[in-house]
Structure 1
Amino acid sequence: MRKLLLIAAIAFSQLGGFAQAIYEDERYVPETDPLAMAKVKQWQGLKFGLLMHWGTYSQWGIVESWQLCPEDEGWCERTAGKNFKNYFEYKKEYEGLKNTFNPTKFNPDMWAKAAKEAGMRYVVFTTKHHDGFCMFDSKYTDYKVTDAACPFSKNSKANIAKEVFSAFRNQGLWAGAYFSKPDWHCQWYWDPYYPPFDRNVNYNPVTYPEKWNKYVEFTHNQILELLSDYGKIDILWLDGGWVAKKDDKVIAEAYKGIMDEAKGGFVKRRIVNQDIKMDELVEKARQKQPGLIVVDRAVHGKNQNYLTPENRVPEKTLPYPWESCIIAGGGWSYTPNAKFMSGREGVQLLVDIVAKGGNLLLNIAPAPDGTWPDGAYNLLKEYSSWMKVNQEAIYDTEPVAPFKENNICMTQKGSSTYFLYMAKDGERIPSEIVIKSHQPAKGAKVTLLGYKGNLSWKKDGNGFRVSIPSSLKNTPPCSYVWTLKVSKLAK
């Protein structure tokens, strides 16, 4: 059963949830490049980043590119547009969104300032999603925001990716380029001679090696463009993990496992060997950007420098670098009238992830006019207020066992240990906080971040109790999570 589950995880590594959980728990290969290793270590200290899904699809408020995918899944069902009952007419209509994309209110400086204030330390921006539309000025396609047929091409900020990276770097954030390995617009991925079957290339790369090599070259060229002409890029965040090298044995076993599980039922996704020559690409990429972090998502190997559980948080600490990418409100892409998580939910999400040794990559999706919803700004203001008080318990910290005790999370930095009390909805700071798993060393100071003065504490078995003065209860320094700092723990 364990082997079968692992095979299924490989086969369905992009579906998220159960399959991705198994994949992540089973497979990680450490980086060997010294500069990249050092960079990953730095990245682990950043803790909080911003992800943005944005493209022409925002005009329809749909699930990014996925309604182009002909798989029989409810979440990628065609619902928008006039021609959703005819796939080929629908694809033309979808790709025609380029001709109406005009985000005239695009102001990345506002986004970057809000992100910095919230305590975010890096951004990952969708330069190209699976539909193939480039949010940068690629010379290898006319399906891009800077093409003359796109009304926004006449805007001084038409090269959107360049503007985003520049604005966020100006605020001191790292720049990360999201790039989709599959390209459903490119003739060398979805050959117009054949109908697309699923998310994969619609021909056999082994049968047509010249055609596939053109696609590999096309992909490498676009990525190297981004790494050559867009300033300092810290992270190359590659999506579309099904585009990867797979040997015949893996393909055969995966099919057998899937068919056994389905008991002969319909297989919605094929397993196709799509060798994108990742080792070669990474070598060329790091010549352009030494120390570049590469995240070849859900592909087992050394080019997945950190792992990315999607829209979920692991239940425990993990023995490798990781970030949870989480939707802040609505969907990955723009959703009209999206409901965003509350400040309490957002802050406690960050605390829970950091206590487990991970980073939070929070997704905010811009609207078709180039603005963020008010809910996004309101959430970031909540982060800002909390981080101004508690950031030392977040940045550059490491997990400390048992990482969580009931509603109290734990982090550590140097000799200091932080105990982060996560409040229930509407709860006030209690008059006493009890820790059972640790105890301060003799003479250690116990304080509350944002409050001047030491707090009194006493031993309690192997733990300790901290008294909270009434004045602090009435006027706590922050909301949602209160942080006790212990200068040194007993051994």
Structure 2
Amino acid sequence: MKKSLILIASLLLSNWSLAQWKGKEYVVEKDPKVQQKLEDWQDLKLGFFVHWGAYSVDGLCESWPIVSEDVDWLTPHEDLNAYRKYYFDLPKRFNPTKFDPTQWAELAEDMGAKYFVFTTKHHDGFTMWDTKQTDYKITNPEYPYANAEHADITKSLFDAMRDKGMMIGAYLSKPDWHHPYYWSKSFQSPGRNVNYKIDRHPDWWKNFTDFYFNQVEELMTGYGDIDILWLDGAWADKNNLQQDMKMDDVGAMCREHQPGILVVDRWVGGRWENYRTPEQHIPSESNPIPWETNLTVNCCFSYRFEESVETNVKSGRELTHKFIDIVSKGGNLLLNLGASPEGWFNAEEIKSVKQLGEWIHANEKAIYGTRAIAPFAEANIRYAKEKEGDKVYAYVLLQEGENMNKAMLPGCLVAKGAKIKDIATGKYVKYSRQGNSTLIDMPKKSGVAQYAIAFEISKVEKMAGKNVGKDQAAIDAENRNL
């Protein structure tokens, strides 16, 4: 097997090349199956991301309460060792009796998502599938959910989402704070990193990396077609305390079992980061490197009890505006909900994502399969184009109660004889050319339809300017306030 992996890895090395953008190098994957998968993924635009684990029992931040670091988002414990024991026992109370994977898949479809990424294991090491590598898993016979119909939660979800035609992504943490050879019991943990010197204990580290490799291989071989391996925990990297996770071996093994799979070793860069994953913010501009913003519907990735999140839930309008902004820049949105101890989601969050989905379904011709075009943003206008062809899409973002008789599309000069159509209704609208811009009649709308109005322009003579009248700081501020 090892010789096979070495051979595969050497062959794969010829499938990458380096490109430059703004003076920085990035890796381009040349494998045609990977390129096709990446192209297909970029067409999908919206993914459904779920953080779920035993931490949901108490509505805790995922994994991080057990780390010995003084960070802004955590309250320190008087006795961290005692708290860790309490935390690691949470699976004994995790019994999501209301979990229905079909219901989750229907919600994903309602919100307009085209792919699904699930936290199969977070940093705390609790495994949400029937792994053979550890007993710290959802199917442990000592835990209350072990004999449930959908006890292998990962398998149940992946099957249900595939039935809806979704791409499947497996989130997996590289570090594992429960594993005895990541945080050895011989030493105190100084933080998120391995707590011993790897060069002094290479056998310990090999034990851990073999465990990691085997868990990834289980996902690659026992859970159907996997489109994305979404890795987290960038500090577990050979350039940090020698934490070499043998990513060339892991990636080669993944491609052997799942040809064309996208591997996202996020924040690390290099050949195993097929696309970038900015977290909780939207980049200020478009770029040629495929990317995906992962964003929470409330303040946090994991579940919070209803009364603590209601004021933090992003509205349907806010989500729609952020989504359009991302689409106009050529990116994808991976939108996260945290699941409850029972196996469902907060009502206000469901309401917001369904409102987003209602808008998307009415305007999907201007969303899926689009690509960025310059200029992508002008004031409250966003632009995109169809992947192949002459059509340009303009999105007018509207605030609550805002009604406009006409809207100016700055820098967009519609070709003579071209037609402009309201995507949602299919009706053509009147317009006039104004210098290098176009003035269009705005249809009256209400409710979700009024969040933004998407127009299809059959042909554009000229797209001028680049975020005219705004410097970079202003664009960043607008994105934060959308």
Common fold by TM > 0.5: yes
Q: Which residue of 2 aligns with 1:207?
A: 200
State the secondary structure of the residue aligned to 2:354: helix
Look up the equivalent residue of 1:383 and give its one-letter code.
L
For residues 237-260 of structure 1, the C-alpha deviation after alignment (integer angstroms, 9 at most, x for no partner) is: 0000011111xxxxxxxxxxxxxx
Change (3 A) 1:474 1:111: closer
Counterpart Cα distance in 1 of 2:235 and 2:450: 43
The correspondence of residues 14-413 of structure 1 with structure 2, limited to 5 A, is: 28-78=26-76, 84-246=77-239, 271-337=240-306, 338-339=309-310, 340-413=313-386
Q: Shift of the alpha carbon at 1:118?
A: 1.6
Distance 1:161 1:95 in 2: 20
Match of 1:433 in 2: 407
Structure 2 spans left out of the alignment, 5+ residues: 1-21, 463-482
Q: Aligned match of 1:482 in 453, 468, 471?
A: 453
- Alpha-carbon separation, structure 1, partners of 2:190 and 2:317: 44
1:444-483 counterparts in 2 under 5 A?
444-468=418-442, 472-473=443-444, 478-483=449-454
Identify if the C-alpha distance between structure 1 residues 425 and 383 changes in structure 2 by more than 3 Å, giving closer, same or farther.
same
Letter aligned with residue 473 of structure 1: K
Q: In 2, distance between residues paired with 1:445 and 1:86?
A: 68
Contact in 2 for aligned 1:46/1:121 (Cα 8 Å): yes
The equivalent of 1:259 in structure 2 is: none
| TM-aligned CA deviation for residue 26 of structure 1 | 5.1
CA distance in 1, matches of 2:107, 2:51: 17
What is the CA–CA distance in structure 1 between the aligned matches of 2:447 and 2:344, rounded to whole Å? 34
Take 1:99 and 1:111, find their aligned partners in 2: how far apart are those partners?
Answer: 24
> Cα offset for 1:130?
0.3
2:244 match: secondary structure? coil
Any idea what SS the aligned residue of 2:412 has? coil
What is the letter of the counterpart of residue 234 of structure 1? Answer: D
Q: Which deviates more, 433-442 or 27-36?
A: 27-36
For 1:149, give the aligned amino acid.
E
State the shift of 1:193 in Å: 0.8
Whole-angstrom CA distance in 1 between matches of 2:226 and 2:425 = 39
- The one-letter code of the counterpart of 1:37 is Q
The CA distance in 2 between the partners of 1:179 and 1:452, in whole Å, is 43
Mapped to 2, the partners of 1:467 and 1:434 lie a distance apart of 9
Query: In 2, are the aligned partners of 1:417 and 1:489 still within 8 Å (CA)?
Result: yes
Q: 3-state DSSP class of the match of 1:28?
A: strand
Structure 2: how far apart are the matches of 1:194 and 1:399? 51
Residues 318, 452 of structure 1: alpha-carbon distance in 2 compared, 3 angstrom cutoff: closer
Distance 1:304 1:453 in 2: 43
Distance 1:418 1:45 in 2: 15
CA deviation vs aligned residue, 1:316-343 (integer Å, no higher than 9, x gap): 1122000000011141101112232111
Q: Contact 1:436 / 1:460 at 8 angstroms: preserved in 2? A: no
Question: Number of matched residues?
Answer: 435
**3-state SS in 2 of match to 1:62:** coil
Does the 8 A contact of 2:138 with 2:152 survive in 1?
A: yes
Deviation at 1:476, TM superposition (A): 8.5
Percent identity over the alignment is: 40
Q: Which runs of 5+ in 1 are unaligned?
A: 1-23, 79-83, 247-270
Instruction: State the secondary structure of the residue aligned to 2:91.
Output: helix
CA-CA distance at 1:112 after TM superposition: 0.8
Residue of structure 2 in register with 1:442 after alignment: 416
Once the two structures are TM-superposed, the CA of residue 389 in structure 1 deviates from its matched residue by 1.6
Q: Residues 386-426 of structure 1: CA distance to partner in whole angstroms, max 9, x if unpaired?
A: 11221111111011111011000001002110110000232
Q: Which amino acid aligns with 1:456?
A: K
Query: What SS does the aligned partner of 2:208 have?
Result: helix
Cα separation, 2, equivalents of 1:361 and 1:180: 17
Deviation by residue 1:167-205 (Cα, 9 ceiling, x = unmatched): 111111111000000000001111111111110001111
SS in 1 for 2:461: coil
Query: For the residues of structure 1 that align with 2:445 and 2:53, how far apart are their CA atoms?
Result: 47
Do the aligned partners of 2:358 and 2:448 also contact (CA within 8 Å) in 1?
Answer: no
Structure-to-structure mapping, 1:415-434, within 5 angstroms: 415-428=390-403, 430-434=404-408
Q: Which structure carries more strand by proportion?
A: 2
C-alpha distance after superposition, 1:407-449 (max 9, x if no partner): 0000100211011000023212x11111120111121111111
Do the aligned partners of 1:27 and 1:300 also contact (CA within 8 Å) in 2?
no
Instruction: Work out whether residues 408 and 437 of structure 2, in 8 Å CA contact, stay in contact via their aligned partners in 1.
Output: yes
Assess if the C-alpha contact under 8 Å between 2:317 and 2:356 holds in 1. no
- Alpha carbons of 1:448 and 1:279: their partners in 2 closer, same or farther (altered >3 Å)? same
Describe the superposition over 1:254-298 as per-residue Cα deviations: whole angstroms up to 9, x where unpaired. Answer: xxxxxxxxxxxxxxxxx4120001011100111111100000010
State whether residues 116 and 168 of structure 2, in contact with CA within 8 Å, keep that contact through their aligned partners in structure 1: yes
Match for residue 474 of structure 2? Answer: none
**1:324 and 1:361 in contact (8 A); partners too:** yes
Q: What is the deviation of 1:108?
A: 1.6
Q: What SS class does the counterpart of residue 388 from structure 1 fall into?
A: helix
Aligned-partner residue type, residue 292 of structure 1:
I
Contact 2:391/2:457 (<8 A) preserved? yes
Tell me the distance in 1 between the aligned counterparts of 2:294 and 2:406: 35
